[in-house]
């Protein structure tokens, strides 16, 4: 730029040298050259004109009849040039290009002032006058030019002060930039469109994560300045993956669109609603003056989404779990606020979904714990720190061991044995349950093979299967290949599924495919048990439709069986219905003789609990597998989990 700009300065020098010889023609020639050269800076077309102008000027300098030729240069120039008085702005002269562009004749123009021709809406009359009075020849001014017919032209004017007949004048060269401006505005439009694409989500039309990254820091600054609060709501649809898996992505997309619309319609115009990706949305509530507003808004979003969404004529539930963090209470920057709202969202999921939770520091601690557990569980799996223990399932009448339940154990190098209650949920959430479940299955079949070779009489082994495992791993094929590998009959396997794993979201097609998956497992000889019965959906009606072999009554009903009449009634009803449907019942968590007696009276066939034995290693269990009835010794002196329980096989 400055290299090009250099030209006018050298011109100026020549002009000063020659003023004494012939003021008017040289003055005009110099001005013209200066103007052309300056114009060259802004357009390649003008650059050509500059070359032409300079050449002509040089030729003319060498020529005697300069005046006429200068005039020719000016008159034939395609660029409009105008000269005006520097004080009054009265137009003194203009070349034909200038007159033509404006539609004025020379006499008409001479009656006008520059300020009547040039327009600058942004500067006002005084501002325009100041600009014209002191033009910088290196910087073209974006102005408008009023034609005689009133039309306004977009121009760039390059001006220069010069002395003409001892009078200070101003010369301006104006180039029409209408086309240039049009192209610029098209480019700008295109840029804005690209910008919109980059900052918005295609599916829902909502702003995206990138947009949030640009906007949120500013919104936090605004809140800081205004002394108001700002809330970040992290939304995650409940079980969206199930919907996608069972009804297809197209349905999932339609659902997301409706969710986006409902959320947008629920919050205020000034609030920001962003789709972060997948089924995650963020709402930023700005200028919050009262904390109650946040609760109100979050509750309204939950409510707006609790009405089923009809997609392709079928209703879908799109409830949402919301985590809320507040500026300044829970964080001072975007990263912290987003992290904490995300933590609170997980808490909302834990609390049964379809609700909102405000962030608290306790949550953050729990989350850190979870993250730590996840990492060390992953390592435990790789380092062979996982183990499986077995707890016998007893036939109440014969006292024989009718089965074993495989229970996962984590042999932590420093914390000792960790029970699954501490890590199964995390394993499920992170998908780690798939390799963990695979480990359990493999270990169980290996142990059954070991017991068989050791001459034990085989009993079915119950393995706990989580919903994620049922969905994500091809259980049937895995079982077939592992049973073949360890030479164990699939009939020795019993899979325990919780009610929610089996029945939840039955309204989705997933319900059918899950039933099919379970039927296929039964087809290869595997038995199915519903675990923790009574704690989930508890619809006895389901039992009629689902292929189930065993029902395990949850420990919470067994615990107070002796004292609580309603527990007694529930357990009695479950046993009666199951018997009617030909489903065997196992009572879980039996710790006392009175409980056992009650269950016997109610007609419960099978029992499991510390009364008989605590879970123990495969080697310790071997002595329980003689096939002979067991004698129950007094259980008051309970042994630890890793010793054999009070149960011993008769004759051993």
Residue 152 contacts residue 146 (beta carbons within 8 Å): yes
Nearest to 549 by CA among 590, 496, 602: 496
Which listed option, ligand C2E, Mg ion, none, makes contact with residue 424 (CB within 5 to 8 Å by class)?
ligand C2E
Among 39, 392, 609, 646, binds ligand C2E (CB under 6 A): 609
With respect to ligand C2E, which residue has the nearer C-beta, 247 or 389? 389
- Residues of 298-308 as b/e, b for ≥16 C-beta within 10 angstroms? beebbebbeee
From the list 334-342, 432-440, 492-500, 626-634, the region that binds Mg ion by CB under 5 A is 492-500
How many residues make contact with ligand C2E (CB under 6 A)? 25
From the list 58-66, 577-585, 589-597, 616-624, the region that binds ligand C2E by CB under 6 A is 589-597
Binding to Mg ion by residue 471, rule CB under 5 A?
Answer: no
User: What are the respective helix, strand and coil percentages of the chain, to the nearest 5?
Assistant: 50, 20, 25
Which listed option, ligand C2E, Mg ion, none, makes contact with residue 429 (CB within 5 to 8 Å by class)?
none
Q: Hey, which residues between 78 and 137 contact ligand C2E (CB under 6 A)?
A: none
Among 145, 343, 391, 471, binds ligand C2E (CB under 6 A): 391
Binding to ligand C2E by residue 640, rule CB under 6 A?
Answer: no
Residue 220 contacts residue 262 (beta carbons within 8 Å): no
With respect to ligand C2E, which residue has the nearer C-beta, 274 or 630? 630
Cβ neighbours of residue 243 under 8 Å, at least 6 residues apart?
251, 252, 255, 316, 318, 508
Alpha helices by DSSP H, 200-248: 209-226, 240-247
Binding to Mg ion by residue 466, rule CB under 5 A?
Answer: no
Minimum CB separation of residue 477 from ligand C2E in Å reads: 19
Binding to ligand C2E by residue 496, rule CB under 6 A?
Answer: yes
Binding to ligand C2E by residue 615, rule CB under 6 A?
Answer: yes
Measure the CA–CA gap between 30 and 162, rounded to whole angstroms: 9
Minimum CB separation of residue 216 from ligand C2E in Å reads: 39
Residue 607 contacts residue 587 (beta carbons within 8 Å): yes
Dihedral of alpha carbons 616, 622, 628, 633, sign: negative
Binding to ligand C2E by residue 156, rule CB under 6 A?
Answer: no
- Supply 503's token pair: 């029945």
Residue 528 contacts residue 550 (beta carbons within 8 Å): yes
**Other CB atoms within 10 Å distance of the CB of residue 382:** 10
Residue 232 contacts residue 297 (beta carbons within 8 Å): no
Which listed option, ligand C2E, Mg ion, none, makes contact with residue 140 (CB within 5 to 8 Å by class)?
none
Q: Hey, which residues between 539 and 568 contact ligand C2E (CB under 6 A)?
A: 555
Binding to Mg ion by residue 447, rule CB under 5 A?
Answer: no
**Eight-state DSSP code of residue 626:** S
The distance of Cα 360 from the centroid of its chain, to the nearest Å, equals 22
From the list 64-72, 304-312, 417-425, 471-479, the region that binds ligand C2E by CB under 6 A is 417-425
Binding to ligand C2E by residue 499, rule CB under 6 A?
Answer: no
Measure the CA–CA gap between 332 and 347, rounded to whole angstroms: 21
Which listed option, Mg ion, ligand C2E, none, makes contact with residue 242 (CB within 5 to 8 Å by class)?
none
Among 156, 531, 567, 641, binds Mg ion (CB under 5 A): 531
Which listed option, ligand C2E, Mg ion, none, makes contact with residue 499 (CB within 5 to 8 Å by class)?
none
Binding to Mg ion by residue 279, rule CB under 5 A?
Answer: no
3-class state of residue 65 by DSSP: coil
Binding to ligand C2E by residue 461, rule CB under 6 A?
Answer: no
Nearest to 145 by CA among 133, 132, 130, 136: 132
Which listed option, Mg ion, ligand C2E, none, makes contact with residue 177 (CB within 5 to 8 Å by class)?
none
For residue 354, which phi and psi values (nearest 5 degrees)? 50, 45
Among 391, 464, 626, 635, binds Mg ion (CB under 5 A): 464
From the list 255-263, 354-362, 395-403, 602-610, the region that binds ligand C2E by CB under 6 A is 602-610
From the list 105-113, 157-165, 453-461, 495-503, the region that binds Mg ion by CB under 5 A is 495-503
For residue 535, which phi and psi values (nearest 5 degrees)? -95, -15
Alpha carbon distance, N-terminus to C-terminus of the chain = 101
Q: Can you give the binding site for Mg ion, defined by CB under 5 A?
A: 464, 496, 531-532, 588
């Amino acid at each position: 730029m400055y290299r090009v700009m250099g030209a006018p300065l050298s011109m100026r020098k020549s002009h000063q040298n020659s003023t004494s010889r012939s003021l008017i023609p040289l003055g005009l020639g110099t001005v013209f050259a200066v103007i052309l050269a300056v114009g060259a800076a802004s357009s390649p077309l003008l650059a050509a004109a500059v070359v032409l102008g300079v050449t002509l000027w040089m030729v003319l300098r060498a020529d005697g009849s300069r005046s006429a030729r200068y005039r020719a240069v000016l008159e034939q120039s395609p660029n409009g040039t105008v000269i005006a008085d520097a004080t009054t702005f009265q137009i003194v002269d203009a070349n034909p290009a200038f007159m033509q562009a404006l539609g004025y004749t020379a006499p008409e123009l001479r009656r006008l002032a520059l300020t009547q021709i040039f327009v600058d809406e942004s500067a006002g009359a005084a501002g325009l006058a100041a600009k014209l009075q002191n033009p910088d020849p290196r910087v073209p001014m974006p102005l408008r030019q009023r034609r005689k017919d009133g039309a306004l032209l977009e121009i760039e004017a390059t001006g220069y002060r010069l002395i003409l007949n001892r009078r200070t004048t101003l010369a301006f060269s104006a180039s029409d930039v209408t086309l240039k401006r049009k192209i610029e505005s098209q480019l700008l439009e295109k840029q804005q469109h690209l910008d919109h694409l980059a900052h918005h989500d295609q599916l829902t039309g909502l702003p995206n994560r990138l947009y949030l990254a640009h906007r949120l820091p500013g919104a936090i600054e605004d809140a800081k300045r205004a002394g108001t609060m700002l809330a970040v709501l992290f939304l995650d649809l409940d079980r969206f993956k199930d919907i996608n898996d069972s009804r297809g992505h197209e349905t999932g997309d339609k659902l997301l669109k409706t969710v986006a619309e409902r959320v947008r319609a629920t919050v205020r115009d000034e609030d920001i609603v962003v789709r972060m990706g997948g089924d995650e949305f963020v709402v930023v509530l700005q200028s919050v003056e009262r904390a109650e507003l946040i609760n109100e808004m979050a509750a309204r979003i939950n409510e707006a989404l609790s009405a089923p969404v009809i997609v392709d004529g079928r209703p879908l539930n799109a409830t949402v779990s919301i985590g809320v963090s507040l500026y300044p209470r829970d964080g001072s920057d975007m990263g912290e606020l987003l992290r904490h709202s995300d933590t609170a969202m997980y808490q909302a999921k834990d609390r049964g979904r379809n609700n909102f939770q405000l962030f608290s520091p306790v949550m953050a601690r729990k989350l850190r714990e979870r993250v730590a557990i996840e990492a060390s569980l992953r390592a435990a799996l790789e380092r062979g720190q996982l183990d499986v223990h077995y707890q016998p399932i007893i036939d109440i009448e014969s006292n024989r061991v009718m089965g074993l339940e495989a229970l996962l154990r984590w042999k932590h190098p420093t914390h000792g044995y960790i029970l699954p209650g501490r890590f199964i949920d995390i394993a499920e959430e992170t998908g780690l349950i798939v390799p963990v479940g695979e480990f359990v299955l493999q270990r169980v079949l290996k142990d059954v093979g070991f017991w068989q070779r050791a001459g034990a009489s085989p009993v079915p082994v119950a393995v706990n299967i989580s919903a994620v495992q049922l969905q994500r791993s091809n259980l049937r094929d895995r079982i077939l290949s592992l049973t073949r590998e360890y030479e164990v009959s699939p009939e020795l396997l019993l899979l325990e599924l919780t009610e929610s794993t089996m029945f939840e979201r039955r309204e989705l097609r997933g319900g059918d495919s899950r039933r099919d998956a379970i039927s296929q497992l039964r087809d290869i000889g595997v038995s199915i048990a519903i675990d923790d019965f009574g704690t989930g959906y508890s619809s006895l009606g389901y039992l009629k439709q689902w292929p189930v072999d065993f029902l395990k009554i949850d420990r919470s009903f067994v615990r107070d069986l002796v004292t609580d009449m309603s527990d007694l009634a529930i357990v009695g009803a479950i046993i009666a219905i199951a018997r009617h449907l030909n489903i065997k019942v196992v009572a879980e968590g039996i710790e006392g003789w009175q409980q056992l007696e009650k269950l016997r009276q109610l007609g419960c066939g099978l029992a499991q609990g510390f009364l008989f034995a605590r879970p123990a290693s495969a080697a310790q269990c071997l002595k329980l597998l003689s096939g002979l009835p067991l004698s129950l010794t007094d259980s008051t002196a309970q042994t630890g989990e890793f010793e054999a329980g009070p149960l011993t096989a008769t004759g051993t």
